[in-house]
A = this chain, B = another copy of it.
């Protein structure tokens, strides 16, 4: 989706390209997600963004993550009952989820084929599909 240019200047351009006014806070939040390319919770984003000097509030982190999701910049991953993770990888893909460590790993959706799904309920349209493979440490 983006190359490897995670400079603030380039991130600002990416935000503009999605119709988002690039503020300091939004750029820092985008930087946290895209430079780490990891599945981060809101709390983790808040911590990363305020590592050097506190400059972004909890409310702004939540507002911004929601905005990013709505504009397709990042994707929500719902695997843990206690918190949502935000995924800078918006290519179609699935996830391994380690139920012991919480680690989330991507699975390229292009290599996976799913057949035999029933028709959608009448009057309904698809909004997305999640495949989550829960794994745990093999017996020692």
Residues of A whose CB lies within 8 Å of any CB of B are 76, 78-81, 83-84, 96, 98-99, 105, 107-108, 111-118, 120-121, 123-139
Q: From A124, which residue of chain B is reached at the shortest CB distance? A: B135
Name A's interface SS: strand
15 A-B pairs with C-beta separation under 8 A: A78-B78, A96-B121, A96-B124, A99-B127, A108-B118, A112-B116, A114-B131, A123-B137, A123-B138, A125-B135, A125-B136, A125-B139, A127-B134, A127-B136, A131-B131
CB of A136, distance to nearest CB on chain B (Å): 5
CB of A89, distance to nearest CB on chain B (Å): 16
Contacts of A83 in B (CB 8 A): 81
Q: A115 touching B118 by the CB < 8 A rule?
A: no
**A138-B120 Cα distance, complex, nearest whole Å:** 11
Per a CB cutoff under 8 Å, which of B117, B121, B134, B139 touches A129? B134
**A96-B130 Cα distance, complex, nearest whole Å:** 10
Per a CB cutoff under 8 Å, which of B114, B118, B130, B139 touches A134? B130
Q: B114 touching A112 by the CB < 8 A rule?
A: yes
CB of A101, distance to nearest CB on chain B (Å): 10
CB of A100, distance to nearest CB on chain B (Å): 9
Q: B107 touching A111 by the CB < 8 A rule?
A: no
